[in-house]
Amino acid sequence: MAKRGFQGAVLRAFGAHDHIATVTSTQLITPHYLRVWLHSETLFDAVEACPTAWLRFWMPDPADPEVEHQRAYTIALAEPAAGDFAVDFVLHEPAGPGSAWAQQAEPGDAVSLTSIGSSRFEVSDEPPAGYLVIGDAASIPAIRTIVATVPSEIPIELYLQLHDEADRDIPLGEHPALRVHWVPAAAPEEMAQAIEARDWSGWYAWVAPESVVLRHVRARLKKEFGFGKQSQYLQAYWVRGREMGRRR
């Protein structure tokens, strides 16, 4: 039995329960981006594969199989009736339990998931003038679901941090009013500086980059462009130099 900490107890108290998913296949999309297809008998009884939905995976510690690390990953593709879904993993260095698990995943491998606290991207009845979307390879699976959901007449300005030249080959989906801007990742403030200085009033910002990048973007969105709480979703998807997630 794996060690279960306070976080696990709290999730259980809120009614979360684990699902088991089994790897069915893997597909390398770029040298550092791996799609893993999984099957679960129970997941889609409890989870809706809505835009930007994500799961809490419990990844085994590479050095101690008694310990599991919680890591968030997005449902990239789903075939709920069949119980099948895909997750796209960034294979980064240094690796962590999440990326290491994906790198070694083989058909038949089982992993535990908790389904609580996910997010849902929805276009409201009175849609914004446009969507300013900011992220990187880790949030591209979620961004792809946004691109697929935004009505075709609403513009999307998408800013992506380029951590690896091959990131450009990760599919983003198609949208007639999508403009993509790749931003070098040399310094964390570069993303905030890259955002076009223009009138963004009436726009909605969906922002999910690395945490220090997020801090700079948040400040510029607020101070210079006037984005408020109702017109933005901000979430750090990873933290440079630190692990992101609890253990049990």
Ligand X SMILES: Cc1cc2nc3c(=O)[nH]c(=O)nc-3n(C[C@H](O)[C@H](O)[C@H](O)COP(=O)(O)OP(=O)(O)OC[C@H]3O[C@@H](n4cnc5c(N)ncnc54)[C@H](O)[C@@H]3O)c2cc1C
Binding site for ligand X (CB under 6 A): 54, 71-74, 87-90, 92, 94-99, 138, 141, 235, 237-245
The CA distance from 58 to 115, in Å, is: 11
In one letter, which amino acid is 154? I
The CA distance from 220 to 202, in Å, is: 16
Q: Phi-psi region for residue 226, left (φ > 0), alpha (ψ -120 to 50) or beta?
A: left
Residue 130 or residue 245: which is nearer to ligand X going by CB?
Answer: 245
Residue 83 or residue 98: which is nearer to ligand X going by CB?
Answer: 98
Least spacing, CB of residue 1 vs ligand X, in Å: 22
Residue 54 or residue 200: which is nearer to ligand X going by CB?
Answer: 54
Least spacing, CB of residue 49 vs ligand X, in Å: 13
Least spacing, CB of residue 11 vs ligand X, in Å: 15
Sheet containing 130-135: which strands, arranged edge to edge? 178-184, 156-162, 130-135, 203-208, 232-234
Residue 92 or residue 218: which is nearer to ligand X going by CB?
Answer: 92
Strands 54-60 and 110-114: what pairing? antiparallel
Residue 217 or residue 225: which is nearer to ligand X going by CB?
Answer: 217
Least spacing, CB of residue 153 vs ligand X, in Å: 28
Nearest to 155 by CA among 127, 123, 129, 181: 129
Nearest residue to ligand X, by Cβ distance, number only: 96
The CA distance from 140 to 173, in Å, is: 10
Residue 85 or residue 225: which is nearer to ligand X going by CB?
Answer: 85
In one letter, which amino acid is 82? A
Least spacing, CB of residue 201 vs ligand X, in Å: 28
Nearest to 156 by CA among 180, 127, 192: 180
Least spacing, CB of residue 224 vs ligand X, in Å: 26
In one letter, which amino acid is 56? R
